Structure 1
Amino acid sequence: MTDMAPAITTIEDHPLRYALANELHARPFPTLDAPCGAVYLAIKRPEGAAARDKDADRQHLTQLLDRFGATHPQPGATHWFGDLGKHKLKWEQHTEFVTYTLFVDQVEERPFNGQIFSHLPTDWLAKAPGVRITSALIRVEEMQDETEIVSRLTDWFVPESLAVSRVLDGSAVIAGDFRIDAAGHMRFAAFTTPDCGARRIGRIVQRLCEIETYKTMSMLGLARSRDLGPRMGALDNELTGLMSSMTGKMAQPEETLDSLLAISAELENMLAQSSFRFGATGAYEAIVNQRIDVLREERYTGRQTFAEFMMRRFDPAMRTVKSTERRLQTMAERAIRAGDLLRTRVDVERSAQNQSLLESMNKRADLQLRLQKTVEGLSVVAISYYAVNLVLYMAGPLGDAANLSKLVMTAIATPLVILGVWWMVRRVRKSME
């Protein structure tokens, strides 16, 4: 016996080390023996599914388990697998939805009559915390001769949309038409060879469930694209008209700028509200294509494979979603650029207006200065007039003593007074400046 390596006890583990490692092994494929069947149900809240209360999903599962005396999942668990009466149940919680897969070890005498779905109680289904996004009936039989398989495919599925392929190196033939039958379920069939192991059958059933679920979740992006289409068209026309008006002289550029900002804000809001759905659609599409690739399909009796069905029906829808996302982003960028250009134009026009205003203010200031100088000269004359009279009154006795007449004294005093007043006014003005 090989000696085991000694445990490392001197280093502390990351708190999430074991949880992360165990997560890779937490959702094993079921083991199934043909003939058998499966009931698949995916439940999603119509709005705000990613931010839903996920405890409600676990409570709904617990209510079902209690009816059969089954063990409960661990607190905070995102998956559960175990016995539900005489059948097996697999429960998985995802970002936007929760799935139930019930495995039965027998097939119905009448294929796809929906009786197998009655194993899930009706009143329990009515209390589901969400709505059905998809459900499927899967029938697994041992492979018969090719003629018998073709006959059953013709009876069970719609030929126009039927996809059939031989998978996993010829160990099974899978089929489905991706149509909702009268009972409200999708139908899938798998015909396995006698040497196809139980684990491989389980993987095939699991892949069929995943392809259907992620295909349906991806199509939500198409619905979102169609909802946005009319409004995006209207905004595109408005944006084009505003940008065309910017090429000429605009009467009210401020009003145009307000309209551009309103369109830009609405586009950004649409982009923010749709970013999660468009991002999720891209992720789901990648999962669908990956799940089909790992089946290693081969053409069966000349019919279209699952990959070809997706290429013809699914891929155009996904391209529409991507096109809508790119168009929305492009329109938002156009609105921002147009707003920036118009804002620059408005700033330039305002700068020109400010320049004209400054020139006008300079002219008015020059006129005020000239008027001030004129008033200043008149003030000197007025003050000098009264000052000369005061000087004559004060110097009158001196003039009489010197035998100077009043006229002579006035002639002598006037220049001196005017010069003094002018000097005083000039000094006051300079001190104020």
Structure 2
Amino acid sequence: MLRDHPLRVELCNELHARPFTQLAGPETITHLGMLTNEEMAEEERMHVGLLCQRFNVAAPSPGIKHFMADMGHFFLVWERHTEFSTYTFFLNRRDADRKDRGRVLSKKRNLEPFVKAAIDLVPDDWLKAVPGERLVGVHLELEGPDSPERTMEKQVAFFPSGNLSACVLRGGLAAVWMDFSINDDGYGRILVKDYGLKPRQLGRTVQRLLEIETYRMMALLSLPLAQQYGARLAKAGRVLTEITTRMTDQREVDNEKNLLRELTELSAEIEQAAAATSYRFSASQAYYELVKQRNQKLKEDYMDGFQKIESFLDRRLSPAMRTCEAMGLRLDTLSKRVARAGQLLRTRVDIQLEEQNSALLKSMDKRARIQLRLQETVEGLSVAAISYYVVSLIYYLSKGIKSIGFGLDASIVAAISIPFVVSALWLGVRRVRRIVERDSQD
């Protein structure tokens, strides 16, 4: 038997972890995007488990990030992402009418779009306790090929905002109307008309439309940050220009300490802004790329009188993303400018320190020469003093010898000994000094 890598099965299953739902109209779908954090993943799984318990359905296993379940009244798809989670509720109108559970409207009214939402069948108390904050909320109505045809004016009337885009998909196999708005009920609206897509193709199309709505909202999270820090970065740029100008002013030559303090404070402020925005800006760019990717896979064609989804997003979402990108580049440029200014200032301080050290070394060298001369003078005086004492000892020694009968004149002996004593002492001191100098060099 071959030994498998411990992650082989997990990595293989990753490609199948988020399957598309097979759909057939008429279907009403409610999609929620809840902004959370990674620490809340287990809390979300437990909350989905509570809903499963109510409808006698097996709860999601610990650690999973994608869960699908038929609750009887509706179908639920829960997905856990890095910083948000999505809850998508599906309700097939024909199945709901056939089940006749008394919780949907009559068959005649039930076929009208946006009259009944899938989320209406979800218990209110459970909805109120969903972890996180709602960032995305959209109702999607999927109509089958046998649904009644309407005039364009009536189609547009389903969107209260009046500001919508529409397009034809896959050469006329489907049509989409989408308003990218939040209506009075707190939800946006998407209307999809199916003219012949297969159930799996229809599921992929609906998934991509919902992902476009979700990812474009996640991408726009960085825009308030860009607007918030724009004025602060403009002020920081002016302060940096002022500091750089003062660095070249001769009157500020001796004021490096204050300049360095101001530059350090400015650098700390810029680094704080970078720490607060860098992750959000990079995440928004990644979400924006996902929006463009999902949009390309829709394969849109123009519908007379309307903008395509791609054109609608390009006109409104792209400028916001360029603003965030420009703010990120501006922050990076400011950080580099501050670093260069700090390096220049430190270089100038280092040069001044080197000049001060050079002057200090010259002063120390001068003092050392003076000390050497003084030492040589002291050595001469010490030789004379020691010689005086040694000759005095010789004088007293000679005088004592004379007193016991030897005919020596103490004064003459002392006088004769002076040159020998002085020479010996001078040579001895000189030898000691050479030994000390040689040891200090080693």
Q: Does TM-score exceed 0.5, indicating one fold?
A: yes
1:319-330 matched pairs, under 5 angstroms: 319-330=322-333
Aligned pair partner of 1:33 in 16, 24, 28:
24
Alpha-carbon distance, 1:164 to partner? 1.0
1:293-372 matched pairs, under 5 angstroms: 293-372=296-375
1:104-253 matched pairs, under 5 angstroms: 104-106=91-93, 108=110, 111-112=113-114, 116-142=118-144, 148-159=151-162, 161-193=163-195, 195-249=196-250, 250-253=253-256
Query: CA 1:76 to 1:391, structure 2 compared with 1: closer, same or farther past 3 Å?
Result: closer
Alpha-carbon distance, 1:130 to partner? 0.8
Distance 1:218 1:403 in 2: 117
Distance 2:65 2:191 in 1: 28
Distance 1:278 1:121 in 2: 37
Give the structure 2 partner of residue 74 of structure 1. 61
Contact 2:398 2:409 in 1 (8 A): no
Contact 1:210 1:288 in 2 (8 A): yes
Aligned-partner residue type, residue 296 of structure 1 = K
Greater alpha carbon shift after TM alignment, 311-320 vs 388-397: 388-397
Over the residues paired in the alignment, what is the CA RMSD in angstroms? 2.8
Secondary structure class of the residue paired with 1:103: strand
CA shift digits 1:17-50 (9 cap, x unpaired):
34333332333322333222111111122xxx2x
Greater alpha carbon shift after TM alignment, 316-325 vs 146-155: 146-155
- After TM superposition, the score normalised by the length of structure 2 is 0.84
Give the structure 2 partner of residue 17 of structure 1. 8
Query: CA 1:431 to 1:74, structure 2 compared with 1: closer, same or farther past 3 Å?
Result: closer
Contact 2:90 2:118 in 1 (8 A): no
Secondary structure class of the residue paired with 2:363: helix
Alpha-carbon distance, 1:170 to partner? 1.0
Give the structure 1 partner of residue 423 of structure 2. 419
Greater alpha carbon shift after TM alignment, 389-398 vs 292-301: 389-398
Secondary structure class of the residue paired with 2:333: helix
Alpha-carbon distance, 1:123 to partner? 1.2
Query: CA 1:384 to 1:403, structure 2 compared with 1: closer, same or farther past 3 Å?
Result: closer
Distance 2:308 2:333 in 1: 36
Secondary structure class of the residue paired with 2:172: coil
Alpha-carbon distance, 1:128 to partner? 1.5
Distance 2:8 2:416 in 1: 113
Secondary structure class of the residue paired with 1:77: coil
Alpha-carbon distance, 1:205 to partner? 2.1
Distance 1:424 1:30 in 2: 106
Query: CA 1:155 to 1:360, structure 2 compared with 1: closer, same or farther past 3 Å?
Result: same
Alpha-carbon distance, 1:100 to partner? 1.2
Alpha-carbon distance, 1:171 to partner? 1.6
Aligned-partner residue type, residue 119 of structure 1 = L
CA shift digits 1:367-407 (9 cap, x unpaired):
0111111222222333333444433333346599769695x
Distance 2:372 2:50 in 1: 93
Alpha-carbon distance, 1:132 to partner? 0.7
Distance 2:300 2:73 in 1: 34
Query: CA 1:192 to 1:150, structure 2 compared with 1: closer, same or farther past 3 Å?
Result: farther
Distance 2:240 2:232 in 1: 12
Percent identical residues: 39
Aligned pair partner of 1:377 in 370, 377, 380:
380
CA shift digits 1:281-321 (9 cap, x unpaired):
12111111111111111111221111111111000111111
Query: CA 1:183 to 1:384, structure 2 compared with 1: closer, same or farther past 3 Å?
Result: same
Query: CA 1:390 to 1:174, structure 2 compared with 1: closer, same or farther past 3 Å?
Result: same
Structure 2 gaps of 5+ residues are: 94-108, 438-442
Secondary structure class of the residue paired with 1:422: helix
Aligned length: 417
Distance 1:79 1:410 in 2: 115
Aligned-partner residue type, residue 8 of structure 2 = R
Secondary structure class of the residue paired with 1:134: strand
Aligned-partner residue type, residue 169 of structure 1 = G
Query: CA 1:155 to 1:130, structure 2 compared with 1: closer, same or farther past 3 Å?
Result: closer
Distance 1:277 1:335 in 2: 23
Give the structure 1 partner of residue 102 of structure 2. none
Query: CA 1:395 to 1:102, structure 2 compared with 1: closer, same or farther past 3 Å?
Result: same
Greater alpha carbon shift after TM alignment, 240-249 vs 350-359: 240-249
Secondary structure class of the residue paired with 2:39: coil
Contact 2:165 2:312 in 1 (8 A): yes
Query: CA 1:125 to 1:380, structure 2 compared with 1: closer, same or farther past 3 Å?
Result: same
Alpha-carbon distance, 1:416 to partner? 4.2
Query: CA 1:120 to 1:423, structure 2 compared with 1: closer, same or farther past 3 Å?
Result: same
Query: CA 1:207 to 1:404, structure 2 compared with 1: closer, same or farther past 3 Å?
Result: closer
Contact 1:108 1:116 in 2 (8 A): no
Distance 1:73 1:405 in 2: 121
Distance 2:317 2:433 in 1: 88
Distance 1:405 1:386 in 2: 15
Query: CA 1:42 to 1:18, structure 2 compared with 1: closer, same or farther past 3 Å?
Result: same
